[in-house]
Amino acid sequence: MATRSTPTERQKRLGAELRKMRLAAGATTEYAAGLLGIDRTRLSNMESGIRPFSVERVRTLACNYACTDGSYVEALAAMAVTGEKGWWEQYRGTLPAGLLDIAELEWHATRVRTAQIMHVPGLLQTEDYARAVFTAVLPALSRLEVELRVNHRMERRKVFQRPDPLPYTAYVHEAALHMPYGGAKVTRQQLEYLATQSEQDSVDVRVIPTSVGGFPGAGHALLYAHGTVPQLDTVQLDSAHGPEFTGAEGQLTKYRAHLDWMDDASLTSPTSRDLIRDIAHDL
């Protein structure tokens, strides 16, 4: 199978999980490579995501690593399936790979929870609002780069248009609702759209009121994507140089605790919706 110069986060995660499984079994790279009839360098490339795993090889390794968690093995095998490319692949080479990885992560998630402090969550943004968000960066993006990002962000909404819409919970700090990206008119339309979208069965928008004061995770935005099994959950954090991803259990535990705290501290869904509409009315 061909090598990849830039494996996706999903491909790297599959390799990392199989490496973790190998180490837990106390198996060497020489042993694992021998099982597959390849050399150790090729196996190392597979574990780093540079070379793909086939479904058969995933099952072979899991069996010989004595992994007894059938659901976990099946989830890994599903990650190795090569089929039709996702819609986000049309942007490869024109947008940063991290943005495509976010779209792929959302598409394969069984549930997503996100926390946003300074602006409305990307999946719930209007075109004009998203355009204003992408314009407010340094160094400034060209008009073409801004429009590509806006189009990509709008297409991410496809997760709500599937036969099985993505269950989505967004914790939004009240301060974000007052940030006038694009001016009062654009922000008002955005808040009205946010309130309307929150009425969907699969979408839950919860506002964290300023009255709660400081809270864990206030310094950054995060996205928690639930996998088909808990071992494959993933956290994505925003940073100045692009999105960062982690599946380390310690980090997953920490960010689950952050989101659970937000769930307890935030307003109820109906009360959040009323507050959003009140703020929009006052703009």
**Residue the block writes with tokens 């780069």:** 145
Q: Are residues 106 and 49 in the same domain?
A: no
Q: Is 116 helix (H, G, I), strand (E, B) or coil?
A: strand
Q: Are residues 264 and 138 in the same domain?
A: yes
Single residue among 64, 80, 96 that ends a domain in this structure: 80
CATH number of the structural domain spanning residue 108: 3.30.870
pLDDT digits 0-9 by tens, 182-214 = 999 999 999 999 999 999 999 999 999 999 998
CATH number of the structural domain spanning residue 65: 1.10.260.40
User: Does the pLDDT value for residue 4 go beyond 90?
Assistant: no
- Predicted model pTM: 0.94
Single residue among 80, 109, 140 that ends a domain in this structure: 80
Query: Across residues 77-89, what is the average pLDDT?
Result: 90
Identity of residue 61: L
The pLDDT score that the predictor gives to residue 247 is 97
The pLDDT score that the predictor gives to residue 266 is 97
Q: Are residues 153 and 93 in the same domain?
A: yes
Rounded to whole angstroms, the maximal C-alpha distance in the chain is 68
pLDDT digits 0-9 by tens, 148-180 = 999 999 999 999 999 999 999 999 999 999 999
Q: Is 145 helix (H, G, I), strand (E, B) or coil?
A: helix
Name the strands in the sheet holding 222-226, side by side, starting at the edge strand that comes first in the sequence.
Answer: 203-208, 168-173, 111-116, 222-226, 234-237, 244-246
The pLDDT score that the predictor gives to residue 5 is 67
**Residue the block writes with tokens 């790979």:** 97
User: Does the pLDDT value for residue 88 go beyond 60?
Assistant: yes
Rounded mean pLDDT of the chain? 95
Single residue among 62, 80, 98 that ends a domain in this structure: 80
User: Does the pLDDT value for residue 1 go beyond 80?
Assistant: no
Residue 136 in any domain: the answer is: yes
